[in-house]
Amino acid sequence: MGPLDGIRIIELAGLGPGPYGTMLMADLGADVLRIERPGDVFGLGRPQHELLARNRPALSVDLKNPEGQELLLDLVAEADALVEGYRPGIAERMGVGPDECLARNPKLCYGRMTGWGQSGPLADVPGHDINYLAMTGVLDAIGPANGPPSIPLNLVADFGGGGMPLAFGITAALLHAARTGEGQVIDVAMIDGSVSMMTMMHGLAADGLWTWDRGSNLLDGGCPFYAIYETSDTKFMAVGALEPGFFAELIEILDVDFDLPTQYERSTWGHLRSLLSSAFAARTRAEWIELFAGSEACVTPVLNMEEAQREPHHLGRRTFVDVDGVLQPGPFPRFTATPAAEPEAPRHTGGSALGDWGIPADRIAELQAGGVVS
């Protein structure tokens, strides 16, 4: 089920952005076979909690062994796409790089997921989400004006700048291959994705509407009507009253005295922030939730992850789903004609999934006996 039903993808397992991208495609119906390194089953945590590995079978293959390499190339012949997240040159040294794979299957879409990309002075340097954000201007732009940059988990580079563009890039290449019969290599770099997500800010800066001073702009906490305020019970409310009509409703519900037409005059922002801080500090978060219920002031409680799982809107949309007793985010986006199936827990097949890819049973047994597949 799902719009990618019938698409076959080989995933050379890694951590973070690669598995997230292949999870998105598997959620939408792609037949993904996850190839792991021997002794590295599912990577982190207990298998049932390795949620990024859901919806696809996994097995271990020794790609340092020539038989393992030949097996992979045989699978490539049956695949529409392959995803790997090695440093540049590693796949080539194992004999499963783009040249070898495209020679076996000219229509293959070969996705390469890295932090720095396949070229450039830093291509061979190790790194993580925080490093990519630091080198792209993203990290410097997030956080309070009077403090150091804030780390936005590993959401921006790993998932927003890596995993999602990987799924998008593979899907775009699949459309091209279907039209032309031509495969290609997709170079997905987390630095590129992180920079891309800053496109609007670069445009605002070019127009003089954004400064590089952290915590002083409309959307980075510098603006008092796009900010977070503490309540009397040391919880928080998020305010996004950017438009004048929403702002007017905010001021009315908070019952503060402020000259509405001066909303966008920066000279008033210090005073306004003080008014809003004092107002929110006078009541509990629960009281503010009740007061803002049904309003158009764009004010919401700041929920923790556990609270979000129980939030009525998420319950109504089934944003979270239960898979074998593990509550987790469900597939997205949603399709009317080709809805995704319910997610399945990660599963390690020990090689049995190879039969679905046309590998004969006697060869599977030989590979298992030789320790190539497990």
Positions annotated as catalytic residues are 128, 158
Query: Do 364 and 354 touch, CB atoms closer than 8 A?
Result: yes
**With 0-12 CB in 10 A as exposed, 13-18 as middle and 19+ as buried, what is 175?**
exposed
Q: Compute the distance between CA of residue 107 and CA of residue 340 in angstroms, rounded to an integer.
A: 26
Q: Compute the distance between CA of residue 258 and CA of residue 276 in angstroms, rounded to an integer.
A: 10
**CA distances, 129 to each of 88, 114, 159, 288, 343 (Å):** 18, 11, 9, 36, 27
Q: Compute the distance between CA of residue 55 and CA of residue 211 in angstroms, rounded to an integer.
A: 44
Among 80, 63, 71, smallest CA distance to 13 is for: 63
Q: Report the DSSP beta bridge partners of residue 347.
A: 57
**With 0-12 CB in 10 A as exposed, 13-18 as middle and 19+ as buried, what is 212?**
exposed
Q: How many CB atoms lie within 10 A of CB 131?
A: 18
**With 0-12 CB in 10 A as exposed, 13-18 as middle and 19+ as buried, what is 163?**
buried
What single-letter DSSP state applies at residue 213? Answer: S
Q: Give CA 240 to chain center in angstroms.
A: 24
| Cα radius of gyration (the chain) | 25
Q: Compute the distance between CA of residue 81 and CA of residue 256 in angstroms, rounded to an integer.
A: 58
Q: Compute the distance between CA of residue 78 and CA of residue 74 in angstroms, rounded to an integer.
A: 7
Q: Compute the distance between CA of residue 220 and CA of residue 209 in angstroms, rounded to an integer.
A: 13
Among 368, 338, 342, 343, smallest CA distance to 353 is for: 368
Of the chain, the end-to-end C-alpha distance in Å amounts to 28
